[in-house]
Chains A and B, each alone.
Chain A
Amino acid sequence: MSENPTKNSFEIQYEMLLNAIPSSVLMVDRKLQILSVNENFLIKSQRSKDATVGRPLAEVFPLVILQSTGIEESIRNVFHTGIAVKGQKMTYRAPGVPLRIYYYSILPIQIDQIILIMEDVTEQFRLSEEVRRVERHLASVVESASDIVLSTDIDGRILTWNSAAEKLSGLSTQEVYGRYFFDFCDLSQKQMVQQIFQRMKTSNAAHTTEFNLLTPSNSGTILISWVFSPMKDDYSKTVGTVVVGRDLAERRKLELQLRQSQKLTALGVMAGGIAHEIRNPLAVCSSAAQFLQENQISDDFQKECAKKIQANIQKASAIIENLLRFARSSLDTEMVEVDLISVLKETIDLVTNQAKVQKIKIHLSLQKNNIVVSGVQGLLQQVFMNIFLNAINAMPTGGVLSVAINTVEDRVIVRVIDTGVGIAAGELDKIFDPFHTSSPVGQGTGLGLSICYSIIRQHLGSIQAESRLGQGAAIIVTLPLL
């Protein structure tokens, strides 16, 4: 105020106000000369007031800006038409200052003046760029995922469908957009999927399941493991569902291989018992055949020999058949009605030889003669084979292996109890872990019980162990009754 004693208080206030505005304000006359500027412009453009006020616009703004924006022409137009120009973008780099981005407006104020307001939007612009970058990144995460990622509205109509979904199903985003997701599920599972979407409306928790996705291009299906998660808005209101799916074909293949190789390990363990058991009937057949070659044998003895040969060939053949059935059975995977008692009896037959070699008595106690569960016969046999062989291994100097079967309400409980070495308390909770083994290195894979666990889980059952070191062990398998 002391600098300009001639200015009246209105002018001072006006200038203060102008300088306080966080935008650049310039007044320009018809000749495109700058009449006044506020502080903000001087700071942003790194100019002094003297080098700015009274100078032509062309001298104050860099040539490149004048050319790229055509701002001089715009100003002339505003003078000519009296119509304001608003919201234009300008990129301005003053010497020694990083690039700034402005939105500017040209407003006519008096006959011979316009006001040029430049608003620095560098920060907002940077933020929106950042938002766009994050969006692009998220989109590429979803697109690059090898798992199916899709989103639906609250009723299950597909909104997004990533590349993996396109690739696995053979259906493009255009083909599925707006259609119900359950239209692409196996007919038998449609209702179940519909119910999941219904549940998503009110649930906060994810839902995990497995079902087949249709692949119309080859009129087939693929088995997928799915996770459904409710999608919430900022007010925690459910607005849709995110569905992530993983192709199980590869995992199933590996599981199958693992189960098969574990089975071969079990066969190896049984080899000793089998050798003994097959060589007995072979020895009987061999000797009886030699009797038949002798001269002067009675008709009765001849018949007896032939009978013995036939009976013992049958015996050897039955042992081999059991083995074959055990070795091959895991190839079928469909869950069907299975009589658990006959599975257990057949499995006991298979291990009887090995048990005998180790002087182990097997007791089977039954409540009923027929217990039906839903399952894969070969897999259930593999489970009990593993449990029996473990029990036999735990009794190197003989003992008793008891198998007790009870039905309780809607479940069947199979207890396999041995009188063997038992399991130490610390080991008990590890026995179902993969690669956990009490056998010396090279003698056990440590996969047997972990495979049992996975098979029983597949059958919607449970498997537990009870034991004390030196006091035998009990493995308890529970399965739902059909």
Chain B
Amino acid sequence: MNKNVLIVDDEPDMCWVVSQIIQLQGLNVFTAYTGEDACFKLSKGDFSVVFLDAKLPDMDGLDVARRIHTMVKERPQVVLVSGYHYRDDPVVRNAQEEGIICCFLAKPFSNEELLSILIALSS
């Protein structure tokens, strides 16, 4: 398991929050502010976990997830982090059933919750 984590959110403060939560886990944190940037970074690098915002200025978060799904060989675990969807949103459920995301975290979230997701995914 590699130690690279990608945070995708167009809001710099959100990227700051997520990186602050996970930085003590001894991981390499990367950020992307757009869908295109995320796809580019994912195709170049090797990531174990992606925290992905659902609404990006250029693409839908789930479209990014779908592209990762078909494009990248070593597929990272994708966590959809969103204030737009809710937990039992059919869109979220379908994406989970399809396997393009592994879990969903609603904004705002507790830091512990995010951390425990990360730990669960890493183990």
Q: Do A and B bind each other?
A: yes
State whether the Cβ of A359 lies closer than 8 Å to any Cβ in chain B: yes
Chain B residues positioned under 8 Å from A283 (CB to CB): 14, 17, 83, 107-109
Closest to B110 in A: A290
Chain A residues positioned under 8 Å from B97 (CB to CB): none
Provided the pairs A283-B14, A287-B21, A357-B84 are in contact, do residues A276 and B55 lie with their beta carbons within 8 angstroms? yes
Chain A residues positioned under 8 Å from B59 (CB to CB): 359
- A184 to chain B minimum Cβ distance, whole angstroms, is 59
Chain A residues positioned under 8 Å from B54 (CB to CB): 276
The winner among A283, A308, A357 for most chain B CB atoms within 10 A is A283
In the assembly, what is the distance between CA of A284 and CA of B9, in Å? 12
Q: Are A280 and B58 in contact (CB under 8 A)?
A: no
State whether the Cβ of A126 lies closer than 8 Å to any Cβ in chain B: no
Chain A residues positioned under 8 Å from B82 (CB to CB): 276
| A291 contact from B20, B106, B108, B109, Cβ within 8 A | B20
Interface residue tally for chain A (C-beta within 8 Å): 24
Chain A residues positioned under 8 Å from B108 (CB to CB): 279, 282-287
User: 1/0 per residue A263-301: CB within 8 Å of B?
Assistant: 000000000100111111111111110110000000000
Q: Are B13 and A282 in contact (CB under 8 A)?
A: no
State whether the Cβ of B57 lies closer than 8 Å to any Cβ in chain A: yes
State whether the Cβ of B11 lies closer than 8 Å to any Cβ in chain A: yes
Q: Are A359 and B84 in contact (CB under 8 A)?
A: no
Interface residues on B, range: 20 to 34
Among B50-94, those with CB < 8 Å from A are 54-60, 82-84
Q: Are B16 and A279 in contact (CB under 8 A)?
A: no
State whether the Cβ of A134 lies closer than 8 Å to any Cβ in chain B: no
State whether the Cβ of B28 lies closer than 8 Å to any Cβ in chain A: no
| B83 contact from A279, A285, A311, A359, Cβ within 8 A | A279
Among B11-28, those with CB < 8 Å from A are 11, 13-14, 16-17, 20-21
- B10 to chain A minimum Cβ distance, whole angstroms, is 8
Closest to A284 in B: B13
Q: Are A276 and B20 in contact (CB under 8 A)?
A: no
State whether the Cβ of A312 lies closer than 8 Å to any Cβ in chain B: yes
Q: Are A308 and B13 in contact (CB under 8 A)?
A: yes
In the assembly, what is the distance between CA of A386 and CA of B107, in Å? 29
In the assembly, what is the distance between CA of A288 and CA of B109, in Å? 11
State whether the Cβ of A356 lies closer than 8 Å to any Cβ in chain B: yes
Provided the pairs A282-B108, A356-B55, A359-B57 are in contact, do residues A287 and B84 lie with their beta carbons within 8 angstroms? no
Chain B residues positioned under 8 Å from A280 (CB to CB): 11, 13-14, 83, 107
In the assembly, what is the distance between CA of A357 and CA of B106, in Å? 16
User: 1/0 per residue A354-382: CB within 8 Å of B?
Assistant: 00110101000000000000000000000
Chain B residues positioned under 8 Å from A277 (CB to CB): 83
Q: Are B57 and A356 in contact (CB under 8 A)?
A: yes
Q: Are B13 and A312 in contact (CB under 8 A)?
A: yes
Chain B residues positioned under 8 Å from A286 (CB to CB): 108-110
Provided the pairs A279-B83, A282-B107, A282-B108 are in contact, do residues A359 and B16 lie with their beta carbons within 8 angstroms? no
Provided the pairs A356-B55, A359-B58 are in contact, do residues A291 and B111 lie with their beta carbons within 8 angstroms? yes
- A295 to chain B minimum Cβ distance, whole angstroms, is 13
Provided the pairs A276-B83, A283-B108, A290-B111 are in contact, do residues A311 and B13 lie with their beta carbons within 8 angstroms? yes
Q: Are B55 and A287 in contact (CB under 8 A)?
A: no
In the assembly, what is the distance between CA of A439 and CA of B17, in Å? 40
Q: Are A272 and B84 in contact (CB under 8 A)?
A: yes
- A38 to chain B minimum Cβ distance, whole angstroms, is 105
Q: Are B83 and A287 in contact (CB under 8 A)?
A: no
Chain A residues positioned under 8 Å from B84 (CB to CB): 272, 275-276, 279, 357
Chain B residues positioned under 8 Å from A357 (CB to CB): 55, 84
- A382 to chain B minimum Cβ distance, whole angstroms, is 25
In the assembly, what is the distance between CA of A359 and CA of B59, in Å? 6
Q: Are A287 and B60 in contact (CB under 8 A)?
A: no
- A275 to chain B minimum Cβ distance, whole angstroms, is 6
Q: Are A282 and B83 in contact (CB under 8 A)?
A: yes
Closest to B54 in A: A276
Q: Are A279 and B107 in contact (CB under 8 A)?
A: yes
Closest to B13 in A: A284
In the assembly, what is the distance between CA of A278 and CA of B110, in Å? 17
Among B99-113, those with CB < 8 Å from A are 106-112
Among A207-240, those with CB < 8 Å from B are none
In the assembly, what is the distance between CA of A361 and CA of B10, in Å? 14
Q: Are B14 and A284 in contact (CB under 8 A)?
A: yes
Q: Are B57 and A284 in contact (CB under 8 A)?
A: no
In the assembly, what is the distance between CA of A283 and CA of B107, in Å? 5
Chain B residues positioned under 8 Å from A308 (CB to CB): 13, 16-17
Closest to A277 in B: B83
In the assembly, what is the distance between CA of A214 and CA of B67, in Å? 71
The winner among B10, B14, B21 for most chain A CB atoms within 10 A is B14
Q: Which 7 A-B pairs have the closest CB atoms?
A: A279-B83, A286-B108, A283-B107, A283-B108, A276-B84, A287-B17, A279-B107
User: Given A280-B13, A281-B13, A287-B21, 6 more contacts at CB 8 Å?
Assistant: A279-B107, A280-B11, A284-B14, A287-B17, A359-B56, A359-B57
**Interface residues of A, Cβ cutoff 8 Å to B:** 272, 275-288, 290-291, 308, 311-312, 356-357, 359, 361
**Interface residues of B, Cβ cutoff 8 Å to A:** 10-11, 13-14, 16-17, 20-21, 54-60, 82-84, 106-112
